[in-house]
Structure formats: structure tokens, C-alpha cells
């Protein structure tokens, strides 16, 4: 039997800009994780679902005819792991084997599992609570924990314009890309990152999932706007000539999170909460 320890942790800041994050969901910490080298199943239980070397989202139903569902994950590199509870029926419980006992995982919030050994297997199961009715739905995410992440690029169509509107500013488009690695430096596939630009009228939060190389990217389109602020005048080239301009814009926020900020501690990875200027018009001054 192998020993490993689960502890919540702060991830290092690596983005090349001033990044902040405020999170409120709970974090759970348990010490003394014990996992079996092989998964024990009773003769009446189906074979466990083997989760791949990435972050996998499980959204399933436990029907009345099924006693429980089992899952296994192998920490190939001895990397830190993440369990993120998302939702479940109140009559169900999801557990992980810790100290040779099944310990309940959070309905919402994150376990970070540290100190695994290369090749170590982790067991998870979903079942009904003692005395509860059979059947129900559950949803969770499990896999390599995002450990290092960087916002590679936030590029807009306001290149070359002085930063009067905000640290980030754009007319109509924002190109965003992010790179996420686990605690061993290996790319994390399936990690969830989101970018929210709080302009008016509101646009949907952009959510991306990283690919096998740990990278994800998206282009966000912004609607037109009516500017309520005016910038100081500035010079900018147009063709061979230098002209005098000013901007009409509105100030908002641009917020980037990992796993929808469902941790209660700072991820640092590409987490951003900064001023964003939505430029509505650029006027030539006479």
C-alpha cells in the first residue's frame, strides 16, 4: 500500500502581467491518502471506467438497478491530481479511497492530491447514501491538476493606440490563448479556462478546454457601443502622414479564471482581473 498526502496549495504566479483572482468556493484537504495498486470489485459490479491522462468530465446517472459506478486514474508521472465536484443528487455520494477507507468528496469544490508516485492508481466510486433511495445524477471533473499556466497572448484590434481606455483595450475583437501544465511540467489536456469581458451589452463568458499540448485559444467578438468617455488627443500615423485623434470608450473588466474559480484559493495560471477599455469610436481631430 502506498502513502500519499492531499493538501490544498497555492499555485505560482507565472503570467507576464499583473494578475489577481478572488475565489469563494470551498477547498478540501485530507492527509494520508492510501490507494490500492489494483482496483477491488465485487463479482456483481461492472468493471471500473479507466480515466485517461487528462482532465475528464464525468456527467452520469446512477440508475436504480446499478449499485455503484467505479473509476480509476493512473498518475503516470506522480503528478498532482484534482477532483472537482460540480453537482450531484442529494441521495448520492462520491468517494475516494483514503487510508484504506472510502472518504466522501465535496459536492462542490476541489481536492488537490499531492505526493503521488509515478504509476500510482487512484480509485473513485459513485453510490447511493446509506438509507437513501436508489438512482440519481452526478457530475465531477478529475485528472491532472493545473499547476502552472500562463496567458500566452491577449491581442486586440487596438494595436498602436495609447492605453487611455484600459490595461487591455479593443474595438471589436480579442484574441486569447493560454498554456497549462501539471506539477511535473507536462501539458494538461482538458483543463477548463474562461475569459469574461464585462461589457454592456453583455456577452457570454468564453470557455475553452486545453488540447493535448496544454494550449487553448479563442477569438472573442465584441458588439458596437456608445462611448461615454473621451480620451485625450494623441498622434498616430495613417499611411505616410501623422494625424491627431481621440477615442470614445467605456471602461469595464476583463477576468480570466481556471475551473470557474471553484477552488477557494488562488490558481495562478492565467488568472486575470484587470481594467478593460471597450473602444467605440476613433475620431480624427481637425
Which pTM does this prediction carry?
Answer: 0.76
**Grid coordinates belonging to 173:** 475583437
CB atoms within 10 A of CB 106: 19
pLDDT digits (tens, 9 = 90+) for 44-61: 567 899 999 999 999 999
pLDDT, the chain, mean: 81
**pLDDT of amino acid 230:** 94
Q: Give the C-alpha separation, 204 to 145, whole Å.
A: 26
Q: Is the backbone peptide bond immediately before 201 cis, with ω within 30 degrees of 0? A: yes
For residue 167, what pLDDT is reported? 85
Q: What is the mean pLDDT of the segment spanning 150-177? A: 87
Is residue 205 classed exposed, middle or buried when 0-12, 13-18 and 19+ CB atoms within 10 A define those classes? middle
Angle at 214 between CA 212 and CA 220, to 5 degrees: 110
User: And the C-alpha cell for 82?
Assistant: 484534482
User: For residue 263, which phi and psi values (nearest 5 degrees)?
Assistant: -130, -35
Question: So what's the pLDDT on residue 260?
Answer: 82
* Model confidence band, residue 263 (pLDDT cutoffs 50, 70, 90): low
Mean pLDDT of 85-98: 89
Locate cell 484587470: which residue?
274
Whole-number Å distance between alpha carbons of 141 and 83: 6
Q: Measuring CA to CA, which residue among 258, 257, 209 is closest to residue 56?
A: 209
Q: What is the rounded CA–CA span in Å between residue 14 and residue 246?
A: 35
Domains of the chain as residue ranges with CATH = 2-144 (2.60.120.380), 148-284 (2.60.40)
pLDDT above 50 (res 142) = yes
The residues, ordered by sequence, that sit 6+ positions from 101 with a Cβ below 8 Å of its Cβ are none
In the DSSP assignment, the letter for residue 259 is G
Of residues 23 and 39, more confidently modeled = 39
Q: pLDDT tens across 168-191, in order?
A: 999 999 999 999 999 999 999 999
Residue 259, phi then psi, degrees to nearest 5 = 50, 40
Amino acid at each position: 500500500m502506498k502513502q500519499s498526502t492531499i493538501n490544498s496549495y497555492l499555485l505560482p504566479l507565472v503570467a507576464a502581467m499583473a494578475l489577481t483572482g478572488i475565489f469563494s468556493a470551498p477547498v478540501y484537504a485530507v492527509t494520508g491518502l492510501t490507494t490500492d495498486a489494483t482496483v477491488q470489485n465485487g463479482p456483481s459490479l461492472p468493471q471500473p471506467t479507466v480515466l485517461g491522462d487528462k482532465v475528464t468530465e464525468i456527467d452520469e446517472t446512477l440508475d436504480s438497478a446499478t449499485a455503484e459506478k467505479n473509476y480509476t486514474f493512473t498518475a503516470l508521472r506522480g503528478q498532482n491530481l484534482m477532483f472537482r465536484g460540480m453537482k450531484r443528487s442529494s441521495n448520492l455520494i462520491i468517494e475516494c479511497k483514503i487510508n484504506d477507507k472510502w472518504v466522501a468528496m465535496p459536492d462542490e469544490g476541489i481536492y488537490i492530491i499531492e505526493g503521488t508516485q509515478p504509476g500510482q492508481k487512484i480509485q473513485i466510486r459513485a453510490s447511493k447514501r446509506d438509507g437513501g433511495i436508489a438512482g440519481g445524477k452526478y457530475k465531477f471533473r478529475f485528472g491532472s491538476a493545473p499547476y502552472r499556466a500562463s496567458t500566452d497572448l491577449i491581442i486586440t484590434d487596438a494595436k498602436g493606440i495609447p492605453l487611455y481606455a484600459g490595461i487591455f483595450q479593443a474595438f471589436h475583437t480579442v484574441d486569447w490563448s493560454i498554456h497549462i501544465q501539471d506539477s511535473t511540467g507536462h501539458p494538461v489536456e482538458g483543463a477548463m479556462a474562461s475569459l469574461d469581458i464585462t461589457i454592456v451589452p453583455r456577452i457570454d463568458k468564453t470557455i475553452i478546454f486545453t488540447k493535448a499540448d496544454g494550449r487553448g485559444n479563442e477569438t472573442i467578438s465584441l458588439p458596437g457601443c456608445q462611448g461615454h468617455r473621451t480620451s485625450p488627443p494623441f498622434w498616430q500615423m495613417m499611411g505616410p502622414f501623422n494625424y491627431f485623434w481621440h477615442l470614445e470608450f467605456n471602461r469595464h473588466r476583463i477576468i480570466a479564471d481556471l475551473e470557474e474559480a471553484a477552488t477557494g484559493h488562488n490558481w495562478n495560471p492565467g488568472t486575470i482581473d484587470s481594467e478593460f477599455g471597450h473602444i467605440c469610436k476613433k475620431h480624427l481631430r481637425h
